[in-house]
């Protein structure tokens, strides 16, 4: 999931600061322009802020199309059992 509202803000305007990374930390990092937000690392684009949500997991199924429960039902059941076992 990614969000791009057509607005940009800096890390400082969002009340955030960067630590390390390719562009480095420090005062200059607070001036980095953020153009979008992604919670899935596969959606990150240049200028996006990636927010890793603690405690979340992604179950990737080897399936195509919009109905994995029909194309790979055993995989869907296994993923559901795995998830429910964590609850």
Distance CA 37, CA 48 (A): 5
pLDDT category at 28 given cuts 50, 70, 90 is low
Number of domains the chain is built from: 2
Q: Which residues contact 52 (CB under 8 A, 6 or more apart)?
A: 39
pLDDT digits (tens, 9 = 90+) for 40-77: 888 899 988 888 877 777 778 888 888 888 999 999 99
Task: Provide the mean pLDDT of the chain.
Answer: 78
Q: Are residues 14 and 43 in the same domain?
A: yes
Q: Are residues 62 and 37 in the same domain?
A: no
User: Is residue 48 a contact partner of residue 28, using CB atoms and an 8 Å limit?
Assistant: no
Average confidence (pLDDT) over 22-47: 75
pLDDT category at 19 given cuts 50, 70, 90 is low
Q: Which residues contact 75 (CB under 8 A, 6 or more apart)?
A: 61, 62, 63, 68
Q: Are residues 6 and 46 in the same domain?
A: yes
């Amino acid at each position: 999931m990614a969000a791009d509202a057509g607005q940009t803000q800096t890390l400082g305007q969002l009340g955030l600061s960067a630590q390390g990374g390719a562009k480095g930390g420090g005062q200059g990092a607070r001036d980095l322009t953020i153009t979008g937000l992604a919670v899935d690392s596969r959606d990150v684009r240049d200028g996006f802020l990636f927010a890793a949500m603690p405690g979340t997991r992604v179950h990737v199924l080897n399936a195509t199309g919009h109905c994995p429960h029909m194309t790979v039902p055993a995989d869907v059941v296994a993923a559901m059992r795995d998830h429910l076992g964590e609850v």
